[in-house]
């Protein structure tokens, strides 16, 4: 039996599905508003394309608590040979509408309101409203719905809301009264035509009133009868509905995990150790023994590119028969980037990764005691997967790229066995910083004082969000410094590399394996391999100088420079000296949503705190 031929309601790019229009998101079409269907409503036909990336599959399986999660590319909108259509199904949502009839209603106090009928779907005929004169009137979806912290969403029970009684038998016509021009909640009322009960929409914003009732776990993106039990993850009690504006920026936050496809550095390490383990390394008793064994030409050739410490750890694990070490996403990436003295990967046209180290003999003197390595990434592959979504609050990954579920994600499917993913090809620049320089900088009293101030702001932010400190840790000063420098570099690089600032993305590495910044760009087309970033990497010190000059003075100084993170009247608790005039960039480029930034840790500002990592440049 052939599927019913239904023309598509619209088209969006595959990358947008993962970021903006994934399962559970809402969007406006020309004639209605819809919610995007879950994975169980995606139609692939015969063209289901799997994406292979073992590290990402393992990471997604770990987060979701399910083994064997696979990655598949979202379906394209095409017709199959039998006439059936592929693509993603959507469902009409919300199912309450406002008729395009504007009348004037005068309250008992004499105030006039613009008023329009508020209608449920069953009061419409072929998508139109028949008024008292039997004229067909157009309708638009109501812009207010209800949702909870677990991502559930549903229509507001307007009858129960206006009568403040879920058991009310009054089901007369409802009207939406508005005054003023700003659309503020205190100026919007829901009114019953017969009993004249009337209630302001602002009642929904008062949390202790719990005006919208207990959440029933509605998941309309998964289909009918898919409700689940809903509990507040913080209190363990039933969660209450909150008012949500359909088009608001907090209506949908996609939860994604991305990795850079890299050669298996652990496999290379194992193969190198295998060559000389039986004859030489199995007898090592301490790390110094590894250094002595390297004096032998055969051992030196086999272990080239790996430090004594890494080799010693590998030997210890082999002797103890320990399982494979569980490394984070970013830990594997930086270890691979730092593992080779010359090149990583193979220079092949269709390869996933190829990078070469730039020799530092001609590096500017003022950076020689800071930079450890510059890697020109000629070719890279990024794989991005969506594992869920949230409403009201976004889930932020930690500095190691691991997703911290301080916010409960909503499900993409009833029984998830795969998640949507896309792959991008591109290029980039990697800068590695000397650990000794980082440690020496952290030991300064002025830096520690600045860290205390930033920590105070972070503590206030945790309290405002209701997040306990054991669920989300302060990222640390090295991360904030490198993150701020990354934003300055993105701004300066975009002026000459051929890519816009919004097309350049960042990955910050600030852990025990090393400290570094990867700036890269990528797309599903050949645009991600123009060579502009690699070319600018050959003279990255010029861009570093420009970035540091940019960070010294902001157009909002001195207000920006003297900002205190814990000041409650500004509510910029995760910012030091940072604002839209200096450090904030497009959120598509930033891995932390423009948070945890402070240029005072990079270079001296007008406040002169003495906490700059590049003190020689500005002191």
> What kind and span of H or E run contains 479?
helix 477-493
Q: Which of 222, 221, 214 is nearest to 242 (CA)?
A: 214
- Taking residues 313-327, report their average pLDDT: 70
**Res 305 pLDDT > 80:** no
Alpha-carbon distance of 509 to 506, in angstroms, equals 10
> 55-87 pLDDT, tens per residue?
899 889 988 888 889 999 998 766 554 555 778
Contact 5, 83 (CB under 8 A): yes
What pLDDT score does 323 carry?
Answer: 53
Residue with the bigger pLDDT between 170 and 24: it is 24
Contact 578, 589 (CB under 8 A): no
> 183-212 pLDDT, tens per residue?
788 888 999 888 888 888 888 887 666 888
Provide DSSP, 56-94.
HHHHHHHHHT-TT-EEEPPPP--B-TTS-B-EE-EEE--
Task: pLDDT band for 3, please (50, 70, 90 cuts).
Answer: very low
Task: pLDDT band for 218, please (50, 70, 90 cuts).
Answer: very high
pTM flag (> 0.75) = yes
Calculate the alpha carbon distances from 298 to 206, 268, 312, 314 in Å: 74, 17, 17, 18
Q: Which of 586, 562, 566 is nearest to 574 (CA)?
A: 566
Provide DSSP, 162-201.
HHT-TT------EEEEE-SSS--GGGEEEEETTT--EEEG
Contact 453, 551 (CB under 8 A): no
Phi, psi of 592 (to 5 degrees): -125, 25
Contact 495, 542 (CB under 8 A): no
Alpha-carbon distance of 378 to 364, in angstroms, equals 23
- Taking residues 409-417, report their average pLDDT: 90
What pLDDT score does 529 carry?
Answer: 61
Phi, psi of 458 (to 5 degrees): -65, -40
Task: pLDDT band for 612, please (50, 70, 90 cuts).
Answer: very high
Contact 571, 453 (CB under 8 A): no
- Taking residues 104-120, report their average pLDDT: 87
> 399-408 pLDDT, tens per residue?
776 666 556 7
Provide DSSP, 528-570.
GGSSHHHHHHTTHHHHHHHHHHHHH--TTTTTTTT--TT-TTT
- Taking residues 362-380, report their average pLDDT: 87
**Res 150 pLDDT > 70:** yes
């Amino acid at each position: 039996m052939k599927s019913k031929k239904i023309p598509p309601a619209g088209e969006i790019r595959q990358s947008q599905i993962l970021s903006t229009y994934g399962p559970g998101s809402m969007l406006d079409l020309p004639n209605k508003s819809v919610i995007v269907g879950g994975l169980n409503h995606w139609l692939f036909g015969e063209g289901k394309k799997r994406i292979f990336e073992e590290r990402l599959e393992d990471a997604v399986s770990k987060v979701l608590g399910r083994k064997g999660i696979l990655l598949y590319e979202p379906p394209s909108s095409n017709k199959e040979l039998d006439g059936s259509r592929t693509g993603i199904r959507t469902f009409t949502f919300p199912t309450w509408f406002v008729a395009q009839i504007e009348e004037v209603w005068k309250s008992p106090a004499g105030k006039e309101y613009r008023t329009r009928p508020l209608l449920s779907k069953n009061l419409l005929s072929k998508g139109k409203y028949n008024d008292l004169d039997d004229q067909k009137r157009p309708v638009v979806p109501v812009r207010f719905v209800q949702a909870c912290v677990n991502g559930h969403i549903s229509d507001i029970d307007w009858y129960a809301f206006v009568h403040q009684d879920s058991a009310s038998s009054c089901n007369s016509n409802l009207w939406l009264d508005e005054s003023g021009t700003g659309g503020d909640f205190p100026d919007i009322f829901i009114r019953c035509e017969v009993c004249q009960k009337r209630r302001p929409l602002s009642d929904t914003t008062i949390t202790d009133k719990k005006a919208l009732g207990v959440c029933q776990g509605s998941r309309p993106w998964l289909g009918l009868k898919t409700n689940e039990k809903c509990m507040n993850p913080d209190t363990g009690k039933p969660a209450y509905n909150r008012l949500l504006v359909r088009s608001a920026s907090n209506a949908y936050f996609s939860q994604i995990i991305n990795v850079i496809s890299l050669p298996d550095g652990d496999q290379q390490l194992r193969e190198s150790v295998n060559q000389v383990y039986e004859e030489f390394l199995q007898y090592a008793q301490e790390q110094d023994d590894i250094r002595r064994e390297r004096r032998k030409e055969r051992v030196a050739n086999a272990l080239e590119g790996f430090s004594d410490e890494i080799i010693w750890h590998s030997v210890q694990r082999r002797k103890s028969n320990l399982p494979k070490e569980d490394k984070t996403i970013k830990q594997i990436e930086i270890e691979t980037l730092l593992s080779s003295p010359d090149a990583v990967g193979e220079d092949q046209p269709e390869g996933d990764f190829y990078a070469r180290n730039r020799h530092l003999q001609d590096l500017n003197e003022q950076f020689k005691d800071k930079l450890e390595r510059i890697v020109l990434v000629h070719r890279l592959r990024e794989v991005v997967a969506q594992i869920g979504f949230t409403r009201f609050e976004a889930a932020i990954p930690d500095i190691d790229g691991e997703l911290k579920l301080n916010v409960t994600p909503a499900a993409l499917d009833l029984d998830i066995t795969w998640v949507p993913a896309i792959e991008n090809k591109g290029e980039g620049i990697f800068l590695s910083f000397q650990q000794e320089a980082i440690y020496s900088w952290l030991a300064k009293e002025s830096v520690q004082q600045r860290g205390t101030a930033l920590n105070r702001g972070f503590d206030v932010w945790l309290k405002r969000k209701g997040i306990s400190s054991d669920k989300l840790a302060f990222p640390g000063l090295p991360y904030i410094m490198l993150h701020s420098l990354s934003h300055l570099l993105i701004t300066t690089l975009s002026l000459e590399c051929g890519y816009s600032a919004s097309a350049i993305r960042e990955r910050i590495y600030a852990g025990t394996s090393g400290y570094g910044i990867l700036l890269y760009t990528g797309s599903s087309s050949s645009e991600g391999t123009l060579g502009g970033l690699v070319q600018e990497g050959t003279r990255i010190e010029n861009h570093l100088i420009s970035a540091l000059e940019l960070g010294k003075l902001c157009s909002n100084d001195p207000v920006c420079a003297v900002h205190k993170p814990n000041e409650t009247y500004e509510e910029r608790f995760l910012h030091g000296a940072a604002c839209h005039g200096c450090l904030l960039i497009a959120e598509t480029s930033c891995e932390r949503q423009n948070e945890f930034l402070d240029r005072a840790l990079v270079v001296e500002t007008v406040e002169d705190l003495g906490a700059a990592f590049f003190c020689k440049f500005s002191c």
